[in-house]
């Protein structure tokens, strides 16, 4: 990784603002950074000298005056976001202003090749500033600069294979996939403008992304929102088992309950959740019964989340949770058990994790460039 040049504090501040804005004139940069125009002019000149900023045209005002417009320069570099999903690996490469530069998708088993494909598509010579890898379970911290390592076997071997494909010397940060999806909902999805909410993912597994005041709550062990660890069941004569709640609500159990409820006269048994929900949408009684019961179960889980967090808004996502057919049942059960809470379906869909991971990677990349600020002042 090419080291970022050392910057003055003012140049660092202007770089961060320019990355956020995408492009801006010097007066705009002065306003956004809270700096004087002479200070901004000096900072822009410094950034241009090390190719972290570049002139990209002019902007005309109503008075006929024109102002130079600046954007990030070629030395600003790029970042990489990797979503190690249960079935697919999605990778995005972005500039530090969030512009999409490269993407690739493939099977989980081919994760390392998917990463290499995305890396090959990045602009030649662009220094890689940060990498974020989204995994299913994050509970242990690594050394500074290496990020977080998954503590369970859910992502271990695949993560290790991907790690070999990553360029050496680039900071790698590992984040919970549900937290990444929650960030995507906050900035680009169903929770825009809502800075406190819960993102409830229901799919093969279950999880909760907790956003408070516009920031993801990670917890002391990086495991906040690991709903699979809730004790279940609570009933006389039953001993709670590890991750039993996830086993009950997850997609595999949903399909198993559908198979048990299916009768000979109901037609071919659905073998995927997509088919189950499609049959329910067609009005098939057996499918509707199973889906309606699933909505009640998700509603009860949402009520538990609401009792602890009082988030005001719950966004339902995941391979089964995002189906709008669940909304009426979830809302009704939540209303029965708890206080008024808005429930909506995800709008970012399957891309939520990699979109959120890319946002986090951009923030980390900008930090990498600006963290040496003040060494020249």
Query: For each of the chain's 377 residues, which pLDDT tens digit applies?
Result: 567 788 999 999 999 999 999 999 999 999 999 999 999 999 999 999 999 999 988 876 655 678 899 999 999 999 999 999 888 999 999 999 999 999 999 999 999 999 999 999 999 988 999 999 999 866 543 333 344 333 343 456 788 888 889 999 999 999 999 999 999 999 999 999 999 999 999 999 999 999 999 999 999 988 899 999 999 998 899 999 999 999 999 999 999 999 999 998 889 999 999 999 999 999 999 999 999 999 999 999 999 999 999 999 999 999 999 999 999 999 999 999 999 999 999 999 899 999 999 999 999 999 999 986 555 44
Q: Structure tokens of 46?
A: 């410094």
Question: Torsion angle, CA of 152/155/160/162, rounded to 10 degrees?
Answer: -160
The closest alpha carbon to 11, from 363, 364, 375, belongs to 375
Per-domain residue ranges for the chain? 9-75, 78-180+353-367, 190-347
Distance CA 16, CA 161 (A): 33
Task: Count the neighbouring beta carbons within 10 Å of the beta carbon of residue 19.
Answer: 23
Q: Would 78-180+353-367 and 190-347 be classified into the same CATH topology?
A: yes
Say which CATH topology domain 9-75 has.
Arc Repressor Mutant, subunit A (1.10.10)
CATH of domain 190-347: 3.30.420.40
Distance CA 282, CA 277 (A): 9
H or E element that contains 121: helix 111-121
The closest alpha carbon to 207, from 310, 320, 295, belongs to 320
> 376 — phi, psi (to 5°)?
-105, -10
> 34 — phi, psi (to 5°)?
70, 35
CATH of domain 78-180+353-367: 3.30.420.40
* The pTM of the whole model exceeds 0.75: yes
């Amino acid at each position: 990784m090419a080291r970022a040049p050392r910057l003055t504090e003012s140049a660092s501040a202007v770089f961060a603002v320019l990355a956020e804005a995408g492009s801006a004139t010097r007066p705009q940069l002065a306003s956004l950074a809270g700096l004087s125009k002479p200070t901004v002019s000096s900072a822009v000149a410094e950034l241009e000298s090390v190719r972290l900023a570049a002139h990209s045209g002019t902007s005309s005002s109503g008075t006929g005056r024109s102002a130079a417009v600046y954007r990030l320069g070629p030395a600003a570099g790029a970042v990489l976001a990797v979503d190690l999903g249960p079935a697919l690996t999605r990778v995005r490469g972005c500039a530090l202003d969030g512009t999409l530069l490269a993407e690739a998708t493939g099977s989980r088993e081919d994760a390392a090749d998917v990463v290499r494909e995305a890396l090959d598509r990045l602009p030649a010579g662009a220094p890689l500033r940060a990498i974020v890898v989204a995994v299913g379970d994050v509970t242990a911290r690594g050394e500074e600069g290496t990020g977080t390592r998954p503590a369970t076997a859910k992502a271990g071997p695949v993560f290790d294979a991907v790690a070999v494909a990553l360029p050496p010397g680039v900071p790698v940060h590992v984040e919970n996939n549900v937290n990444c999806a929650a960030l995507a909902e906050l900035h680009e999805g169903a929770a825009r403008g809502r800075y406190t909410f819960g993102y409830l993912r229901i799919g093969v597994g279950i999880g909760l992304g907790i956003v408070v005041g516009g920031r993801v709550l990670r917890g002391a062990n990086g495991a906040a929102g690991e709903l699979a660890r809730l004790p279940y069941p609570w009933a006389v004569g039953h001993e709670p088992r590890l991750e039993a709640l996830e086993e009950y609500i997850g997609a595999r159990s949903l399909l198993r309950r559908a198979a048990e409820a299916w009768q000979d006269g109901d037609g071919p048994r659905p073998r995927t959740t997509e088919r189950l929900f499609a049959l329910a949408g067609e009005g098939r009684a057996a499918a509707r019964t199973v889906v309606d019961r699933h909505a009640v179960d998700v509603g009860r889980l949402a009520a538990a989340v609401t009792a602890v967090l009082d988030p005001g808004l719950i966004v339902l996502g995941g391979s089964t949770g995002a189906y709008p057919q669940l909304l009426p049942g979830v809302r009704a059960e939540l209303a029965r058990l708890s206080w008024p809470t808005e429930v909506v379906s995800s709008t970012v869909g399957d891309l939520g994790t990699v979109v959120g991971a890319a946002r986090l990677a951009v923030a980390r990349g900008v930090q990498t460039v600006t963290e040496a600020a003040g060494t020249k002042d």
